Amino acid sequence: MERTILIIDSISAWVGKAFAWCILILAFGVGYEVFVRYVLRDPTSWAFDISYMMYGALFMMAGAYTLSRDGHVRGDVLYRLWKPQTQAKVELVLYILFFFPGVLALVFAGYDYARESFFYKEVSVMSPANVPIFQFKAIIPAAGIFLFLQGIAQVCRCILCIKTGKWLTHADDIEEIETVLLHQHEDAERAASHGKTQEGR
């Protein structure tokens, strides 16, 4: 079961990191638009389309990655007070009752939406450039598929926690800068107190 979790987490991580490059395209598009609009007085007809397509792709495809890292927002007023096994039982029920039906709805509805968009070769109505957007509609069912896959890993985590009484740790790729600074401060304090202990000897 742990191997299954590791494999699915790795897939989610790869997909999330691959789509993270959308940030660079988004930043370039917005930066270029600001420059040509306010410096050259010649705005583009495609920058807005690029910005919402890149942001939408990033937002949708990062969902499974964020779930694999336990990064989604959780209202844990009561949750954090429970024992790990109680947390796992509640999560397992919630995944079965709400998560999987919602994600399956996203996959099937997204597939129909994408299929129609491909059939009509849909273009953006937001600008006169007629930027093709039908290919980006395929991201909707794809995001649902990756979320469903990651949901299986989360269910496996719940089952393991119910059996063992403790959560399998999530992989950590990044940390908030505040957390990094806090760890550095703690390390510096430990080193200083260790140095004083050595001097006392």
The string of pLDDT tens digits covering residues 143-170 is 999 999 999 999 999 999 999 989 888 7
**CA–CA distance from 76 to each of 15, 21, 91, 159, 188 (Å)?**
28, 32, 12, 20, 32
Mean pLDDT along residues 118-144:
89
181 or 48: which carries more pLDDT confidence? 48
Mean pLDDT along residues 55-84:
88
* Closest among 112, 129, 131, 111 to 121, alpha carbons compared: 131
pLDDT band at 200 (very low <50, low <70, confident <90, very high): low
**What pTM was estimated for this model as a whole?**
0.81
Looking at 9-18, 41-50, 165-174, which range is the least confident one? 165-174
pLDDT averaged over every residue in the chain: 88
DSSP assignment of the chain = -HHHHHHHHHHHHHHHHHHTTHHHHHHHHHHHHHHHHHTSS---SSHHHHHHHHHHHHHHHTHHHHHHTT-S----TTGGGS-HHHHHHHHHHHIIIIIHHHHHHHHHHHHHHHHHHHHHT-B-SSSTT--B-HHHHTHHHHHHHHHHHHHHHHHHHHHHHHHHSSPPPPP-----HHHHHHHHHHHHHHHHHHHHHHHH-
Residue 142 has φ and ψ, to the nearest 5°, of -60, -45
User: Sign of dihedral through CA atoms 163, 164, 165, 171?
Assistant: negative
**Domain residue extents for the chain:** 2-170, 174-201
Provide the percentage of residues in the chain whose pLDDT is more than 90: 59
pLDDT greater than 90 at residue 70: no
Tokens coding 146: 């990756």
pLDDT greater than 80 at residue 47: yes
Which pLDDT value is given to residue 188? Answer: 83
pLDDT greater than 90 at residue 138: yes
Which pLDDT value is given to residue 198? Answer: 61
40 or 189: which carries more pLDDT confidence? 40
* Closest among 31, 27, 35, 32 to 54, alpha carbons compared: 27
Return the bridge partners of 6, or none: none
pLDDT band at 181 (very low <50, low <70, confident <90, very high): confident
Tokens coding 160: 């393991």
